[in-house]
């Protein structure tokens, strides 16, 4: 089998950054050490070599909305962002609520995806929030269940669903949003919303549903995961539930960590669900990441067509893209500014994700699959959405200068992206 040596790079290996070489044979890492030279040499001088990233929250829009994104274009965007594993959210048409539909999605992934894609099943039939899917049949076929895109208003659905997942490996993944408090709002309740006459979203809409779901998971002693946390009240609630021993994990997006309502412009690229919070939220989210209340970074990559994002804050659809800018944005705003160690960021985008789900890790070690990202940390670029491989072009970081260019992404020994 063909061998390749990644030579002279700075490698994130066993929780430290060390100058060592890596030999890959076929799909696997076969050696890690000094002065290795076997097969083809890939010179990685001045480059960072890290476990490839894992995305727990992306919308690849297929089946049903292929004009926004397909599994193929989504996987290309992911590979460009340094990801080799992606969990795909099920707000699709048809919604993946049966084994047959999940199998069909897996077939498309097999055929079209450059990387490993994991379809999630819905929690309820047709994602309508009313009747549970067949958990007994699906729980061994998917990593998790989610009605992402909407909160589940009916407490009994969460109770019954979590009861059925007791002891299972697959996880209930909750988008928390109490619709009575959302009240058809478009941005976070704020002076900005008042001043510019945008309908406000009460931040408790997220927190109250999160608290209800965590309470049920705690009582049933079942795993639960909370998506894209955006409000300080939710961070504080998770902190309390974790202290009590609730098996909850949570994610946050780069845009909620980096941007606030102070950054808002009346442009669709600032409209997402949940909406951007204020500086107090931002502070709590960041501290939550540092103290482990929030487990990892997820992008909530949610592409739409240019037309669908052209209606400003009031009329654009919710959702922005994120896979192609996530590492560079996090690196530029937090690591380069010395607010966060590089090692932590690398864990937040890979190891800590695989720790939360029944998914193989991408850690660099002998015997593991070679799923690796090679990054030039010194190189900068200006975010230009016309260069995105995603069909979605609505990025909150458009025009920003970011550091950290993904040079190559390797999935199971194969180069799936090369700059
Ligand atoms: Zn969501």
Domain count, the chain: 2
Which backbone phi and psi does 58 adopt, to 5 degrees? -130, 150
pLDDT of residue 332: 98
> Which pLDDT value is given to residue 1?
74
* Percent of the chain predicted with pLDDT > 90: 99
Q: Quick one: DSSP state of residue 31?
A: E
The helix-helix angle for 232-244 and 279-291 (nearest 10°) equals 30
Residue 374, helix vs strand vs coil:
strand
Residue-level pLDDT at 183: 87
Contact 335, 342 (CB under 8 A): yes
End-to-end CA, the chain: 25
Distances (CA, A) of 254 to 131, 330, 336: 33, 6, 15
**Is residue 230 situated within a structural domain?**
yes
Look up the CATH number of the domain holding residue 43: 2.30.40.10
Domain residue limits at 402: 3-48+367-418
- Is residue 399 classed exposed, middle or buried when 0-12, 13-18 and 19+ CB atoms within 10 A define those classes? exposed
Q: What is the ipTM of this complex?
A: 0.95
Q: What is the pLDDT of residues 68-95, one digit of tens each?
A: 999 999 999 999 999 999 999 999 999 9
CA distances (Å), origin 289, targets 223, 230, 250, 278, 303: 19, 12, 10, 17, 26
Question: Do residue 210 and residue 344 come from a single domain?
Answer: yes
Residue length of the chain: 419
Q: Is 417 helix (H, G, I), strand (E, B) or coil?
A: strand
**pLDDT, tens only, 140-187:** 999 999 999 999 999 999 999 999 999 999 999 999 999 999 989 999
User: Could you tell me if residue 360 is inside a domain?
Assistant: no
pLDDT of residue 291: 98
Same domain, yes or no: 313 and 249: yes
* Spacing, Cα 381 to ligand 1 middle (Å): 29
Domain presence at residue 69 = yes
Rounded distance between C-alpha atoms, residue 269 and residue 264, angstroms:
9
- Give one DSSP letter per residue of 285-307, joined into a string: HHHHHHHTSS-EE---B----TG
CB within 8 A of 265, min separation 6: which ones? none
HSE toward the beta carbon, residue 229, CA cutoff 13 A: 34
How many angstroms is it from 41 CA to the middle of ligand 1? 43
Average pLDDT, the chain: 97
pLDDT tens, 93-107?
Answer: 999 999 999 999 999
Choose the catalytic residue: 281, 300, 347, 361: 300
Give 107 Cα–ligand 1 centroid separation in angstroms. Answer: 25
- What is the predicted pLDDT for the residue at 84? 98
192 and 157 in a common domain = yes
Dihedral pair phi/psi, residue 199, rounded to 5°: -65, 130
Are both 205 and 350 inside the same structural domain? yes
The three-state secondary structure class of 318 is coil
Question: What separation in Å is there between the alpha carbon of 402 and the centre of ligand 1?
Answer: 26
How many Å apart are CA 401 and CA 30, to the nearest integer? Answer: 37
Residue 298 has pLDDT above 80, yes or no: yes
Residues 15 and 61 in one domain: no
Same domain, 81 and 188: yes
Q: Give CA–CA dist 20/9, Å, rounded.
A: 7
412 within some domain: yes
What is the whole-number distance in angstroms between the Cα of residue 318 and the centre of ligand 1?
10
Domain identity same for 237 and 169 = yes
- Provide mean pLDDT across the span 338-358: 98
Active site residue 295: no
| 3 state SS of 11 | strand
List the CATH number of the domain containing 209. Answer: 3.20.20.140
CA 179 – CA 171 distance, rounded (Å): 23
CA of 231 to the centre of ligand 1 (A): 14
How far apart are the CA of 37 and the centre of ligand 1, in A?
A: 46
Structure confidence at residue 373 (pLDDT): 98
């Amino acid at each position: 089998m063909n061998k390749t040596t990644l030579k002279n790079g700075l490698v994130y290996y066993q929780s430290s950054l060390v100058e060592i070489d890596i030999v890959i044979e076929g799909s696997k890492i076969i050696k890690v050490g000094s002065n290795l030279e076997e097969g083809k040499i890939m010179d990685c001088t001045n480059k960072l070599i890290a476990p490839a990233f894992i995305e727990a929250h992306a919308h690849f829009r297929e089946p049903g909305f292929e004009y926004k994104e397909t599994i193929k274009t989504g996987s290309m965007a992911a590979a460009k962002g340094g990801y080799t594993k992606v969990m795909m959210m099920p707000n699709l048409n048809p919604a993946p609520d049966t084994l047959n539909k999940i199998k069909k999605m897996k077939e498309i992934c097999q055929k079209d995806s450059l990387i490993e894609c994991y379809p999630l099943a819905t929690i309820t039939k047709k994602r309508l929030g009313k009747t549970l899917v067949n958990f007994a049949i699906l729980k061994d076929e998917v990593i998790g269940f989610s009605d992402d895109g909407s909160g589940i208003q009916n407490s009994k659905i969460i109770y019954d669903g979590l009861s059925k997942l007791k002891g299972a490996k697959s996880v209930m993944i909750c988008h928390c949003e109490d619709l009575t408090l959302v009240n058809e709002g478009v941005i976070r309740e704020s002076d900005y919303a008042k001043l510019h006459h945008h309908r406000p979203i009460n931040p408790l809409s997220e927190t109250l549903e999160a608290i209800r779901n965590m309470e049920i998971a705690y009582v049933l002693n079942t795993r639960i995961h909370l998506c894209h946390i955006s409000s300080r009240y939710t961070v504080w609630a998770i902190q309390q539930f974790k202290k009590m021993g609730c098996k909850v994990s949570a994610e946050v997006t780069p845009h909620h960590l980096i941007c606030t309502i102070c950054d808002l412009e009346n442009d669709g690229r600032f409209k997402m669900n949940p909406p951007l919070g204020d500086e107090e939220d931002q502070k709590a989210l960041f501290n939550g990441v540092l103290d482990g209340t929030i487990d990892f970074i997820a992008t909530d990559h949610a592409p739409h067509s240019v037309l669908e994002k052209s209606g400003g804050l009031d009329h654009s659809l919710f959702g922005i893209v994120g896979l192609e800018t996530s590492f560079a944005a996090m690196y530029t705003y937090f690591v380069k500014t010395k607010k966060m160690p590089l090692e932590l960021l690398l864990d937040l985008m890979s190891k800590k994700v695989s720790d939360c789900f029944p998914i193989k890790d991408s850690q660099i070690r002998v015997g593991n699959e070679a799923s690796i990202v090679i990054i030039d940390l010194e190189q900068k670029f200006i975010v230009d959405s016309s260069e995105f491989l995603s069909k979605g072009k609505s990025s909150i970081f458009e025009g920003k200068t970011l550091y950290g260019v993904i040079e190559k992404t390797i999935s199971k020994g194969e180069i799936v992206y090369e700059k």
